[in-house]
Structure 1
Amino acid sequence: MNLTEVTVKYPRGATIFAACCASIFCVLGVIGNLVTILALTRCPKLRIHATTAFVLSLCISDLIFCLVNLPLTASRYINEAWTFGDALCQLFPVLFYGNVAVSVLNMVAITLNRYVLISCYQYYSWLYSKISIWVQLIFIWGVAFLLMLPPLLGIWGQLGLNPSTFSCTILQKDGKSPKKIIFLIGFALPCTVIIIAYSCIYYSVRKSRKKLKSHQPLPDKRITKREKDDRRLTKLMAIIFICILLCFLPLMIVNVFDDNDPKYPVLHILASVLTWASSVINPFIYAASNRQYRSAYSKLFRIVKSSVAFSDSKQGSRASKEKIGSVTLKPSGASS
């Protein structure tokens, strides 16, 4: 098929905007996720925490997404065509939807980890042993990519190019496609679990605070600290809720209700851009919001800073020696 004969549904201004966003998110996402991975893996105290394993898994998934999917996405929006061949067109949606699903499922794992830690602590050591953590990580990555197996094999739907949107995605085969089911299972259900779990965490924390306060009146300073902790927790919950809804809900809605023949192409681009943004903001939400993780960032930056300073001083010392060695000594008695 001659792609130039196909009517492109996206306005040129929207495709340029999408290409710019994909390029910016690619750079910021690679830097942010790579720094987070280095910072957390270099800290022995954090490596033993179960939450760290899921945060690292989330960052690795987002790093792959930023390194592979976003550059290809930027290129197709700039060219308004897919120029990388059929094989990569088959692989692209597997990596795209698979990595997004891995990110969402890792968020679920982080949320459930916090819920068990706060509300069901008696089961924590059993649920988050080393073996259990590896089983959960394998399950997360396995389920995320197994969802893409039916269309990849052509059993239910198929993977290929939609010429009007120049996107490599899940297409219908014999009038059937698993795309809506994948979005409902891979995104709607996990997001619902996250919201319910965080609501339970917040309710549990508030309940324990009130119970402690009624049985053991606290001094004014301790009450103030508790109230600050509650406000901080409320703020963090609100940020997580808003980010999850903003990043993933629009993409699910447009792909479920306006998929086969998009009537609102600009909304599809905006929904996609919001989903890409999640790969950039995730390190800040789940890592930078933790005091211990911020300390790991600081240690990494101090190491980098000291390494750069040492390198500069070494080069300066070498340059000084070369300068001294190149000076010609004048014989005594010579006039100046």
Structure 2
Amino acid sequence: MDTTAVTRMWNDTDLLRNYTFSCASPSVEGYRYFGVLLGSTVTIVGTIGNILTVLAFATDASLRTRFNVLIVNLALADLLYCTILQPVSVDSYLHLHWRGGATWCRMFGFLLFLSNSVSIITLCFIAMSRYLVVAHRTSRCARLLLSHRGVAVLLISSWLLGVASFAPLWPVYVFAPQVCTCSFHRTKGRPYTTVLLFMYFFFGLGCVGLFYFLIYRKVRVASKAFLKYRPSRRSSERKRAKAEATTDDSGISAGASTTQSCEISHDETGAEQNKNKALEKSEGHTNTKEPKNSIQDASKDTETSSKPTPVTIQTTPAASSGEDSEFKRVTRMCFTVFMCFVCCFAPFLLLNVADKANRAPQVVHMICANLTWLNSCINPLLYAAMNRQFNQAYKDLLGKAVHPLTWIWRTRRITIR
């Protein structure tokens, strides 16, 4: 049997299963229970974690920064998937059948790609904002984008761009039996779907990787410059304490830049010394006349100390202050979120590119599709592990949620006794 006949047979089988909304197959009878367990875990962990992220931003004043607004937007996109879409996928895996009808199937496919597109766009905005902070903070473009109005425009545009991209595919959203869920048709939407996936998953994620590479180079150069002009240990500790008191966890503080050039002139130091000497002399010799030689010596000292000797020291908060410590930590967290997104989606995308004729076993398609589920629930875990402010906010919220239960338990124990 030639390749054309095999491809036609697979397409006819998929078309029949699509119309019946069935994904039943002997190869996935046992695997579906693992899919149900994994999907249920993603639903619970992702819903609780992303809700905690939104509540932490709303209740903790230290987290209400312009940068964290982008984090909340990413949490909302994940919450859309975990709370609304993931339970539907679990139901399909449990019954190996789509039970929502054709209209809900189209809506599901649209919301699925909307959630993914908003996540990718938000990851791009996060990486771009990190780069602007470290490289072009004082530029006009950076000030506009990092302002309150600029961040609001970014948030609205992420959702509008997602809707505008995937709404035209409404007629071609169908049931995909290979992954037991609804998606766009693999051939009817071409070439629009091919261009769209390339723009989002390859060009978009490639831009994110490029921004983080540029950030790495910029911070590395700044760190080398600092090692060459290292300030005193006491000065570093004083700057670090001051920066920690005025810097939020995004590494952005009021009036601070990531690379600073400080010129220290001895004019002010000499003037201060002259003032102290004049005070000492006026107090110690009020009723006596000072010899002429001592007056001349003092004038010489004054002239010598008042000569400006500029010393230029380049200090980089990216290597010395607590501000840079927070900046690096948050940037590392954002890069980890990006890498997790790539790792979750890469197997699924590569399989769809390599297996155009649907020759791979259905269970392989399901496994790769299930990896994409993890992306929606893993971000809050990364925030808790890599961001001390989110970690503390999560603990406070969970403590407040558990407190009524512990109070009821203690009251019940006392009553029994």
Query: Under TM normalisation by the shorter chain, which class is it?
Result: 0.7 to 0.9
Deviation at 1:66, TM superposition (A): 0.7
For the Cα contact (< 8 Å) 1:9–1:165, is it kept in 2?
A: no
Specify the alignment match of 1:170 in structure 2.
184
Quick one: structure 1 residues 136 and 307, their matched pair in 2 at CA, closer, same or farther if it must change by over 3 Å? same
For the Cα contact (< 8 Å) 1:10–1:266, is it kept in 2?
A: yes
Quick one: structure 1 residues 86 and 194, their matched pair in 2 at CA, closer, same or farther if it must change by over 3 Å? same
- Which is worse superposed, 259-268 or 289-298? 259-268
Where do 1:134-145 residues align within 5 Å?
134-145=152-163
Matched, 1:272 2:374: no
For residues 27-58 of structure 1, the C-alpha deviation after alignment (integer angstroms, 9 at most, x for no partner) is 111111111211121012322x1221111111
For the Cα contact (< 8 Å) 2:74–2:119, is it kept in 1?
A: yes
Specify the alignment match of 2:397 in structure 1.
300
Where do 1:1-336 residues align within 5 Å?
3=20, 8=25, 11-47=28-64, 49-123=65-139, 124-152=142-170, 154=171, 158-163=172-177, 166-171=180-185, 176=190, 178-216=192-230, 219=233, 236=333, 239-240=336-337, 242-259=339-356, 261-286=358-383, 288-309=385-406
Quick one: structure 1 residues 313 and 286, their matched pair in 2 at CA, closer, same or farther if it must change by over 3 Å? closer
Q: What SS class does the counterpart of residue 39 from structure 2 fall into?
A: helix
Opposite residue 113 of structure 1, the aligned amino acid is S
Paired with 1:221 and 1:267, the residues of 2 have a C-alpha distance of 58
Q: What SS class does the counterpart of residue 386 from structure 2 fall into?
A: coil
For residues 43-95 of structure 1, the C-alpha deviation after alignment (integer angstroms, 9 at most, x for no partner) is 12322x12211111111111110111111111111211111111111111111
Opposite residue 216 of structure 1, the aligned amino acid is R
Deviation at 1:266, TM superposition (A): 2.8
Deviation at 1:120, TM superposition (A): 1.7
- Which is worse superposed, 238-247 or 126-135? 238-247
Paired with 1:301 and 1:309, the residues of 2 have a C-alpha distance of 12
Q: What SS class does the counterpart of residue 295 from structure 1 fall into?
A: helix
Specify the alignment match of 1:334 in structure 2.
none
Paired with 2:362 and 2:231, the residues of 1 have a C-alpha distance of 58
Quick one: structure 1 residues 139 and 256, their matched pair in 2 at CA, closer, same or farther if it must change by over 3 Å? farther
Deviation at 1:177, TM superposition (A): 5.5
For the Cα contact (< 8 Å) 1:171–1:177, is it kept in 2?
A: no
Opposite residue 194 of structure 1, the aligned amino acid is V
Q: TM-score with structure 1 length normalisation?
A: 0.80
RMSD between aligned alpha carbons?
3.4
For the Cα contact (< 8 Å) 1:8–1:163, is it kept in 2?
A: no
Deviation at 1:162, TM superposition (A): 3.6
For the Cα contact (< 8 Å) 1:55–1:286, is it kept in 2?
A: no
Quick one: structure 1 residues 41 and 287, their matched pair in 2 at CA, closer, same or farther if it must change by over 3 Å? farther
Opposite residue 68 of structure 2, the aligned amino acid is T
For the Cα contact (< 8 Å) 2:127–2:211, is it kept in 1?
A: yes
Unaligned segments of structure 2, at least 5 residues: 1-15, 241-318
For residues 152-174 of structure 1, the C-alpha deviation after alignment (integer angstroms, 9 at most, x for no partner) is 1x3xxx11224565432111565
Q: What SS class does the counterpart of residue 113 from structure 1 fall into?
A: helix
Paired with 2:335 and 2:147, the residues of 1 have a C-alpha distance of 30
- Which is worse superposed, 37-46 or 83-92? 37-46
Q: What SS class does the counterpart of residue 147 from structure 1 fall into?
A: helix
For the Cα contact (< 8 Å) 2:102–2:174, is it kept in 1?
A: yes
Opposite residue 50 of structure 1, the aligned amino acid is R
Opposite residue 192 of structure 1, the aligned amino acid is G
Opposite residue 63 of structure 2, the aligned amino acid is L
For residues 117-176 of structure 1, the C-alpha deviation after alignment (integer angstroms, 9 at most, x for no partner) is 222221443211121111111111111222212211x3xxx1122456543211156584
For the Cα contact (< 8 Å) 2:70–2:155, is it kept in 1?
A: yes
Opposite residue 18 of structure 1, the aligned amino acid is G
Quick one: structure 1 residues 218 and 19, their matched pair in 2 at CA, closer, same or farther if it must change by over 3 Å? farther
Opposite residue 202 of structure 2, the aligned amino acid is A
Deviation at 1:278, TM superposition (A): 0.6
- Which is worse superposed, 286-295 or 169-178? 169-178
Paired with 1:200 and 1:94, the residues of 2 have a C-alpha distance of 34
For the Cα contact (< 8 Å) 1:61–1:102, is it kept in 2?
A: yes
Deviation at 1:98, TM superposition (A): 1.1
- Which is worse superposed, 136-145 or 12-21? 12-21
For the Cα contact (< 8 Å) 2:333–2:387, is it kept in 1?
A: no
Quick one: structure 1 residues 305 and 247, their matched pair in 2 at CA, closer, same or farther if it must change by over 3 Å? same
For the Cα contact (< 8 Å) 1:32–1:280, is it kept in 2?
A: yes
Paired with 1:54 and 1:169, the residues of 2 have a C-alpha distance of 27
Quick one: structure 1 residues 192 and 287, their matched pair in 2 at CA, closer, same or farther if it must change by over 3 Å? farther
Q: What SS class does the counterpart of residue 122 from structure 1 fall into?
A: coil
For the Cα contact (< 8 Å) 2:21–2:98, is it kept in 1?
A: no
For the Cα contact (< 8 Å) 1:89–1:168, is it kept in 2?
A: yes
Deviation at 1:267, TM superposition (A): 2.9
